């Protein structure tokens, strides 16, 4: 793919928590409308890297980020970049489904409201987002029910609906299926593949089969560094590095 | 020995629980059995007459309710704001640690000291006189550390992922606190506030110098005037009255009403928590 368009990239990224360096010399870029999986053993920095793309570290006083992050040629950490605008453009789905303790309707409405979407347009957007996340048929008759009463898988799809309602350019997913049963996981994975048409997705996962099922590109990280990245098929079947091979074959991690 | 030890452990715990409950029941039995006969609609709805030997305690009930409301109006906004700042905004530094230590120490200050402080600051310094307002402010100061501590605990129970959910859809930190964190923590905060107020309602020492009176002629309810209150009325009837034996039934009646008021507030707190746990959020 020669003509692929880079939407998000990070260059020469170093990140510290206090005096401990978590990310070392990260160089990475993400093509538009692709799914990229970040894999690696626990503590390798993949979630930390993911969370630096929507500046989730801003509220940790001891986090220090160095390097250049570009979203469509705009610097994410520039002084004139509004962090709330940025988070609208780079949405996030978390490891544990975290719907607001409000109704299903209000869960999606909230993000629209604080981002200034006119009230008259919201109903249509909410319905669209729920349909896009394949949860509309299950909840259309009880939009006023508390979101916490939904099952874990439904909650996670609601969280995805909440994210896509804002029409982000990139969606970050931090192990979105790690707390779900296989059936719910399957639904989310199908959803991810369908969402690729409109969004760029970066997914952190512990599950190597999942990476192979959903991702076009895979990035293997170890001890805060990117060891190898490339097409998913190559990473899993003929990696260049011995370390990658050992990890994807399950010899450690 | 090994077979015996569960029985010893169990027995010790049961014994301790029994002792505690025993005293509670003795006190309750004593007050109810001796206070119930003087309880009547007239008792809670009329003025005291004949030098307190006849009539009711309506002004004292009204005074207690009003001073508690004033306390709430003073302590709740300051206490909750302070807790939000400490838990959500303040970074962990020597200054915030010192502030927390001060708040903890404040909750250990004897209530009579608050009374003297209120006398010096509100009654004399700010020229508010001995009044419902001075007493409310003094009780407000007394309640602040408890409200701050319980609110902070309620806020700390909200997981980081809930805050991040709001941030991730583009909320500012303030919006995330206002729209998601506070509503989620509200039942916990309210429980703490109500329990604190129920304690303040029963206090005597802080209001003794700042506004309470044994008897007022005018109707209760003026913020700039002295007021009657249940705990102080009880104290006067049982120790300071010239014919203590005559008013003893009235004293027990007052004690029972005071306990009922505090009990009602506690029930409210439990109801809030119960409703919250049922909603499962």
Give A173's strand partners. Answer: A93, A203
Nearest Cα residue in chain B from A156 = B165
Q: pTM for the full model?
A: 0.83
Does A135 reach chain B within 8 Å, measured CB to CB?
no
Whether A168 has its CB under 8 Å from any CB of chain B: the answer is: no
pLDDT, position A1: 47
Which helix (H) or strand (E) element contains residue B38? none
Tell me: ipTM over 0.85: yes
Provide the shortest C-alpha distance from residue A1 to chain B (in Å): 32
CB A173 within 8 A of CB A211: no
DSSP designation for B108: T
Structure tokens at A200: 């760029």
Q: What is the pLDDT of residues B103-158, one digit of tens each?
A: 999 999 999 999 999 999 999 999 888 889 999 999 999 999 999 999 999 999 99
B280 closest CB neighbour out of A110, A115, A149:
A149
Nearest residue on chain B to A55, alpha-carbon basis: B168
3-class SS of residue A15: strand
DSSP code of residue A103? B
Handedness of CA A205, A210, A213, A219 (dihedral sign): positive
Tens-digit pLDDT profile for chain A (253 aa)? 445 788 999 999 999 999 999 999 999 999 999 999 999 998 899 999 999 999 998 888 889 999 999 998 889 888 888 899 999 999 999 999 999 989 999 999 999 999 989 999 999 999 999 988 889 999 989 999 999 899 988 999 999 999 999 999 999 999 999 888 888 899 899 999 999 999 999 999 988 999 999 999 999 999 999 999 999 999 999 999 999 999 988 888 7
* pLDDT tens-place values along chain B, 281 residues long: 567 788 888 899 999 999 999 999 999 999 999 988 888 888 888 888 777 777 788 888 888 988 999 999 999 999 999 999 999 998 888 999 999 999 999 999 999 999 999 999 999 999 888 889 999 999 999 999 999 999 999 999 999 889 999 999 999 999 999 999 999 999 899 989 998 999 998 888 999 989 888 887 776 667 888 888 999 989 988 888 888 888 888 889 999 999 998 888 889 888 887 887 665 44
Q: Please say whether the beta carbons of A1 and A31 come within 8 A.
A: yes
CA angle B253, B254, B255 (to 5 degrees): 90
Shortest Cα–Cα distance, B161 to chain A (Å):
6
A148/B171 touch (CB, cutoff 8 Å), yes or no? no
pLDDT for the residue B38: 85
What CATH number belongs to B41-279? 1.10.3720.10
In Å, the largest CA–CA distance within chain B is 71
What string of DSSP letters covers B176-238? HIIIIIHHHHHHHHHHHHHHHHHHHHT--HHHHTTTB-S--SSPS--TTS-B--HHHHHHIII
Residues of B in contact with A146 (CB under 8 A): 279-281
Q: Nearest Cα to A192, choosing from A205, A208, A203, A182?
A: A203
Helices first, then strands: H and E counts in chain A: 10, 10
Report CA Rg, chain B. Answer: 23
CA distance A53 to A89: 11
Q: Indicate left, alpha or beta for A51 from its phi (over 0: left) and psi (-120 to 50: alpha).
A: alpha
Distance of alpha carbon A56 from alpha carbon A48, whole angstroms: 9
Instruction: Note the pLDDT of residue B219.
Output: 67
Nearest to B91 among A61, A94, A148 (CB): A61
Q: Do A98 and B169 touch (CB under 8 A)?
A: no
Show which residues on chain B lie within 8 Å of chain A, measured between beta carbons.
Answer: 91-92, 159, 161-162, 164-173, 175, 179-180, 183-184, 279-281
Residue of A114, A151, A155, A161 to mutate when probing chain B, most B C-beta within 10 A: A114
Q: What domains are defined for chain A?
A: 6-101+168-248 (3.40.50.300)
Biggest CA-to-CA distance, chain A: 57
Say what the pLDDT of residue A220 is: 94
Give B244-263 as a 3 state SS string. Answer: HHHHHHHHHHHHHHHHHHHH
What pLDDT score was predicted for residue B278?
A: 62
Question: B157-183 pLDDT, tens per residue?
Answer: 999 889 999 999 999 999 999 999 999
């Amino acid at each position: 793919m020669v003509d692929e368009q880079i939407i998000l990239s990070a260059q020469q990224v170093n990140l510290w928590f206090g005096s401990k360096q978590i990310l070392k010399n990260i160089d990475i870029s993400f093509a538009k409308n692709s799914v990229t999986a970040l894999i690696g053993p626990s503590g390798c920095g993949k979630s930390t890297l993911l969370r630096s793309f929507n500046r989730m570290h801003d509220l940790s006083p001891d986090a220090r980020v160095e390097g250049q992050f570009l979203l469509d040629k705009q610097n994410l950490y520039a002084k004139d970049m509004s962090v709330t605008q940025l988070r609208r453009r780079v949405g996030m789905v978390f490891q544990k489904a975290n719907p607001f303790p409000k109704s299903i309707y209000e869960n999606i409405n909230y993000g629209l409201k604080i981002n200034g979407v006119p009230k008259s347009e919201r109903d249509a957007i909410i319905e669209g987002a729920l349909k896009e996340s394949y949860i509309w048929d299950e909840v259309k008759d009880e939009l006023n029910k508390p979101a916490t009463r939904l099952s874990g898988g439904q909650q996670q799809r609601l969280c995805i609906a909440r994210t896509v309602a804002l029409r982000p350019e990139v969606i970050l997913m931090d192990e979105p299926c790690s707390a779900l049963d296989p059936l719910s996981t399957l639904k989310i994975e199908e959803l991810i593949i369908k969402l690729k048409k409109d969004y760029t997705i970066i997914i952190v996962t512990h599950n190597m089969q999942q990476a192979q099922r959903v991702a076009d590109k895979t990035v293997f990280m170890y001890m805060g560094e990117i060891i190898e990245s490339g097409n998913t098929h190559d990473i899993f079947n003929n990696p260049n590095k011995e370390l990658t091979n050992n990890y994807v074959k399950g010899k450690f991690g | 020995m090994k077979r015996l030890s569960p029985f010893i452990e169990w027995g010790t715990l049961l014994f301790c629980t029994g002792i505690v409950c025993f005293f509670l029941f003795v006190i309750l039995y004593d007050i109810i059995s001796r206070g119930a006969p003087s309880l009547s609609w007239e008792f809670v709805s009329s003025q005291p007459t004949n030098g307190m030997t006849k009539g009711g305690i309506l002004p004292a009930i009204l005074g207690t309710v009003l001073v508690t409301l004033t306390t709430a109006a003073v302590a709740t906004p300051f206490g909750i704001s302070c807790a939000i700042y400490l838990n959500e905004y303040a970074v962990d530094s020597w200054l915030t640690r010192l502030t927390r230590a001060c708040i903890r120490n404040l909750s250990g200050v004897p209530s009579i000291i608050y009374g003297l402080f209120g006398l010096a600051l509100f009654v004399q310094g700010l020229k508010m006189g001995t009044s419902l307002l001075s007493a409310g402010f003094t009780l407000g100061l007394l309640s602040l550390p408890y409200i701050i501590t319980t609110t902070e605990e309620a806020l700390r129970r909200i997981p980081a992922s809930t805050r991040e959910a709001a941030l991730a859809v583009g909320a500012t930190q303030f919006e995330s606190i206002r729209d998601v964190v506070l509503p989620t923590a509200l039942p916990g905060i309210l429980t703490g506030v109500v329990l604190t107020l129920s304690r303040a309602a029963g206090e005597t020492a802080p209001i003794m110098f700042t506004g309470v009176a044994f008897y007022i002629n005018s109707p209760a309810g003026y913020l700039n005037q002295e007021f009657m209150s249940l705990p102080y009325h009880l104290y006067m009837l049982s120790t300071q009255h010239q014919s203590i034996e005559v008013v003893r039934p009235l004293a027990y009646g007052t004690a029972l009403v005071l306990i009922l008021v505090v009990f009602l507030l506690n029930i409210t707190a439990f109801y809030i928590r119960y409703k919250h746990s049922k909603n499962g959020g």
